[in-house]
Amino acid sequence: MTSTNSASVAAVEAHSREFLVFSLGEEEYAIDILKVQEIRGYENVTRIANAPDFIKGVTNLRGVIVPIVDLRIKFHLDKVEYGGQTVVIVVNVGERVVGIVVDGVSDVMTLTPEQIKPAPEFGVTLSSDYLSGLGSLDDRMLVLVDIEKLLTSEEMAIVDRVSE
Amino acid sequence: MDISDFYDTFFEEAEELLGDMERHLLELDVDDPDAEQLNAIFRAAHSIKGGAGTFGFDVLQQTTHLLENLLDHTRRGELVLRRDIVDTFLEAKDMLHDQLDAYRNGEEPDPEAYERICKILQAMALEEMGKSVEGGATAQPEAAVSSEANPEPPVTEKSDEPPSGDASPSDAGSGRLSVALIGVSDKDRETLVEELGNLGKVLDQKGDAKRYVVELETSSSPDDIEAVMCFIVEPEQLEIEAAMGSPASTEPPAQPKEPAADMAKTDDPVAATPPAVGQKAPGDGGWTSTPAANNPPTAKPKAKGGSNAKSGGESTSIRVPVDKVDQIINLVGELIITQSMLDQTASELDGVSHGALVNGMSLLQRNARDLQEAVMSIRMVPMDYVFSRFPRLVRDLAAKLDKDVELITEGKSTELDKSLTERIIDPLTHLVRNSLDHGIETPDAREAAGKSRSGKLTLSAQHQGGNILIEVIDDGAGLNRDKILAKAQANGIAASETMSDDEVWQLIFAPGFSTAEQVSDVSGRGVGMDVVKRNIQAMGGHVEILSRPGEGTTTRIVLPLTLAILDGMSIKVGEEMYILPLGAVLESLQPTDEDLYPMPGDETLLKVRDEYLPVIAVQEVLDVENACIKPTECIAVIVQGEGRRYALLVDDLVGQQQVVVKNLETNYRKVPGVSAATILGDGSVALILDIADLHRLSRNKKEARQAHLPASSHKLVPLKEVEPS
């Protein structure tokens, strides 16, 4: 299993972390690979009425009902298409399993602490609260997303607030 | 295997036994106790004692031992039951429960509480046993049984004696005993000698602090004496033996047969079986065989505990961790889906050339459904599991509050998922306490109000529209609107005189809210209701209050099904498939123009047999695209939920099927109008609609849409409110 391997690798290369790199439009984003459960195609999603538009609905993942979030809509990308290439990354956040729709998954990168730069204050659509930094790798720039913080945030409306 | 591996089994079993014991004690008719029930109570105590001995839970074992002795006297009619004796037994049972909990948490039980309960039981033993001396023979089997079951050291001690002196345990009638106190302080000794004086006649006493011997003429068995004394001294500090020259020791060896026979006769099967196996000696070898039974103290109860465990539960049930059951349920769910997929494929094949396959498929379908049903039923437990703990609570509380309360339970057999039954207990307990404390008035006040002196508290459970409805109904004073409002204002909670009753009742769920004038230890600290509400919401349910001044209060808990199979009706709206809980569906019909009455504000009423029902279109509430819009082209499904009845417009009825309810909130959140989800035959997800919530959602949507129109339209729609039956 990837996660076990990466865990041991991470232990060997002290403090280096592995990230799964995916693309949304032109940008490259990365999330901690330990959060990733699996990658699958986009299919068979049941719409949920009266939910925000970036919540595509729920799907059946081997008997578990999993919500599907389209990050492209959440990040206001112009082109949102669903095709054979559309990929769902199934992530584990907290106790939950959530699928996120992205344009494509490219590779798995190992980043050393030196390669991770703090995220500057920016972004209206993606608050820097949800970023764990920027990864610079040669001439590539990866936006490191704290997927757990993002998906459990209030604006994602996936988690019921206790205060309700 | 380490013996500690069995701890959990013991704890669970002991818990059940204590539950049984309590149930029987509560059902017991004090004036004319049922022998079977007394036996059952005794057996429970006996089994717990055996188990406790095996695992070395000394405090628990000794407490049970004392209780068991008393119970034994009771079941043989030597101790006449009184209400207060039953109360004491119940108290002892509670204590045992506490001790059990302590052991479970790896702690030693509270020694003070232990001493206290021992004293109480001792006092009762002293008081009551004095009356039971008449039949020496009756004490005899008791002694035999107790010494059999008794793993305490004195038994070992006795074995050191020459066989001739060993007749003491079976000492019949008035006999002489020599009780040696080893290493007992002067002060304790005085008390002990005094106690012994209560049990019989002290003939002689001599010795020093190291070993003090009291010669006693008594009709009590050594075991009783020990039981009486062991709350002051450790059993190790006691040595009881028949004094030389006592009548007992002169009796011929023929005596041994008697206790053995007696034992077999009077003892119940549970107690009798182990000795029969481990001890055929008493039958043929007389009391010389006692040493054989005196293995190291722990060895014997072990054997006993084991056999008790078998007779106690394993013959009729097995314990299985819940996750294992859940796993099976999930797997069977998967199997059903796979089967449906296969079925779909097979149905496209030519039935003639693939006859065997088609037959096999239908067989598979039937088997799979049966399997699913059987597996599902594993997790379901009747509400009796919950309700059965309330008679005790109500009895105790009513006594404490000087109120007369009759508890009625309805729908005991309503089945509910085990995990829910466990989580509903606490909220229900709060509600029952509240009803007793604040709801039901004192007998005098009731009489003054023209009601019967005895209050009525009803607990009811029923399935309704795919939900489980649990109600706590009292016929007490009802909620006091003014008091609640005043209190809310005093507590800084936003409240106004114009609020509807329902809104006012909701206020009592606010944290820190209590209208009780006095904080009692029953309730009134105001931490109850908000916790109740939170707990129930955490289970995905909701709670409502209906109350009428002077007539009582009904608290209604509606729990959605989390894990259950649901009889559903699949409906189609546009291209989307939804499931309606079949229980909520009353009928379906094709509306005609004559039956439809448009109302101002985008509302429509449907006339169904002299009843006007509001119409809700699913496509409108759930924003479904490409659905039929003209009501006359749709199908109206008449549904009922939470007392509301309305017509739901859908495109098509697809069929009835049982569906596996999957919680949406596991990975997502509560969706308005939807109670849960399920997986259809093709592997896709369908949402299960929540009838009551759908109505709310529809109303909210209409209100939001017409916010600019004053005088909201829903006033024009008389919602058919159905009184709770």
CATH number for the domain including A82?
A: 2.40.50.180
**Structural domain tally of chain A?**
1
Which long-range contacts (C-beta less than 8 Å, at least 24 apart) are formed by A4-10? A6/A33, A6/A34, A6/A108, A7/A34, A9/A110
Q: What is the pLDDT of residue A91?
A: 93
* B431 close contact with A: CB closer than 8 A: no
What does the alpha-carbon distance between residue B391 and residue B394 come to, in Å, rounded to a whole number?
5
What does the alpha-carbon distance between residue A54 and residue A61 come to, in Å, rounded to a whole number?
19
* B133 close contact with A: CB closer than 8 A: no
B114-145 b/e (C-beta count within 10 Å ≥ 16 → b) = beebbebbbebbeebbeebbeeeebbbbbbbb
Q: What is the pLDDT of residue B269?
A: 43
* Closest chain A residue to the Cα of B334, Cα to Cα: A63
Instruction: Report H helices in B135-268.
Output: 136-149, 153-159, 186-199, 222-229, 247-250, 257-266
Q: Which domain holds residue A121?
A: 2-156
Report the residue from A46, A51, A65 with minimal CB separation from B667: A65
Distance to chain A for B671, nearest Cα, Å: 8
CA-based radius of gyration for chain A: 16
Average pLDDT, chain A: 81
CB-CB neighbours of A51 under 10 Å: 18
Residues of B within 8 A of A157 (CB-CB) are: 669
Tens digit of pLDDT for each residue in B548-565?
888 888 999 988 665 556
* Res B470 pLDDT > 80: yes
Longest dimension (CA), chain A: 47
> Would A163 be classed as within a structural domain?
no
* Res B200 pLDDT > 90: no
What does the alpha-carbon distance between residue B470 and residue B467 come to, in Å, rounded to a whole number?
10
B438, amino acid identity: H
* Res B6 pLDDT > 70: yes
> Would A162 be classed as within a structural domain?
no
* Closest chain B residue to the Cα of A59, Cα to Cα: B685
Using CA atoms, how far residue A123 sits from A54, A77, A115, A119, B655, in Å, is 18, 14, 21, 10, 50
Distance to chain B for A148, nearest Cα, Å: 13
* B663 close contact with A: CB closer than 8 A: yes
Report the residue from A49, A62, A66 with minimal CB separation from B667: A66
Distance to chain A for B460, nearest Cα, Å: 29
Tens digit of pLDDT for each residue in B171-195?
444 567 777 777 766 666 777 777 6
Contact yes or no for B139/B227 (Cβ under 8 A):
no
Q: What is the pLDDT of residue B231?
A: 56
Tens digit of pLDDT for each residue in B9-54?
788 888 888 888 888 888 877 777 787 888 888 888 888 887 887 7
pLDDT-based confidence at residue B209 (cuts at 50, 70, 90):
low
Residues of A within 8 A of B621 (CB-CB) are: 49
Q: What is the pLDDT of residue B2?
A: 60
Residues of A within 8 A of B677 (CB-CB) are: 46, 58, 65
Strand ranges (E), B74-210:
175-182, 200-207
Exposed/middle/buried for residue B396 (C-beta within 10 Å: 0-12, 13-18, 19+): middle
Closest CA to B62 of B235, B225, B284, B218: B235
Q: What is the pLDDT of residue B465?
A: 60
CB proximity list for B28: less than 8 A, separation 6 or greater: B34, B37, B38, B41, B81, B86
What is the CA B274 to chain-centroid distance, rounded? 30
Q: Token digits for B641?
A: 């939920």
Q: Count contacts between A and B (CB, < 8 Å).
A: 73
Nearest 5°: CA angle at B449, between B447 and B453? Answer: 30
Give residue B552's region: left, alpha or beta (phi > 0; psi -120 to 50): left
> Do residue B668 and residue A67 have CB atoms under 8 angstroms apart?
yes
Q: What is the pLDDT of residue B298?
A: 38
* Res B638 pLDDT > 80: yes
> Would A41 be classed as within a structural domain?
yes
Strand partners, A87: A41, A102
> Do residue B330 and residue A49 have CB atoms under 8 angstroms apart?
no
CB-CB neighbours of B235 under 10 Å: 21
Tens digit of pLDDT for each residue in B221-275?
666 666 666 556 666 667 776 655 444 444 444 444 444 444 444 444 444 344 4
Distance to chain A for B664, nearest Cα, Å: 7
> Do residue B669 and residue A157 have CB atoms under 8 angstroms apart?
yes
Torsion over CA: B308, B310, B316, B322 (sign): positive
Distance to chain B for A4, nearest Cα, Å: 23
* Closest chain A residue to the Cα of B660, Cα to Cα: A63
> Would A161 be classed as within a structural domain?
no
Q: Token digits for B268?
A: 């119940």
What does the alpha-carbon distance between residue A62 and residue B227 come to, in Å, rounded to a whole number?
61
Contact yes or no for B215/B204 (Cβ under 8 A):
yes
* Average pLDDT score over residue span B648-675: 85
> Would A136 be classed as within a structural domain?
yes
CA atoms within 13 A on the CB side of B524: 11
> Would A101 be classed as within a structural domain?
yes
Distance to chain A for B480, nearest Cα, Å: 27
**Pairing status of strand A36-41 against strand A87-93:** antiparallel
* B689 close contact with A: CB closer than 8 A: no
- State ipTM: 0.83
* Average pLDDT score over residue span B513-522: 53
pLDDT-based confidence at residue A99 (cuts at 50, 70, 90):
very high
Tens digit of pLDDT for each residue in B268-320?
444 434 443 434 434 343 343 334 334 444 333 333 333 343 344 445 777 78
Q: Which of B89-93, B246-250, B509-513, B518-522 has the highest mean pLDDT?
A: B89-93
Q: What is the pLDDT of residue B155?
A: 39
Share of chain A above pLDDT 70, in %: 85
Tens digit of pLDDT for each residue in B90-112?
888 888 888 888 888 877 778 88
* Closest chain A residue to the Cα of B335, Cα to Cα: A63
Exposed/middle/buried for residue A101 (C-beta within 10 Å: 0-12, 13-18, 19+): buried
* Closest chain A residue to the Cα of B619, Cα to Cα: A49
Using CA atoms, how far residue B366 sits from A57, B419, B661, B675, in Å, is 32, 28, 20, 28
Residues of A within 8 A of B693 (CB-CB) are: none
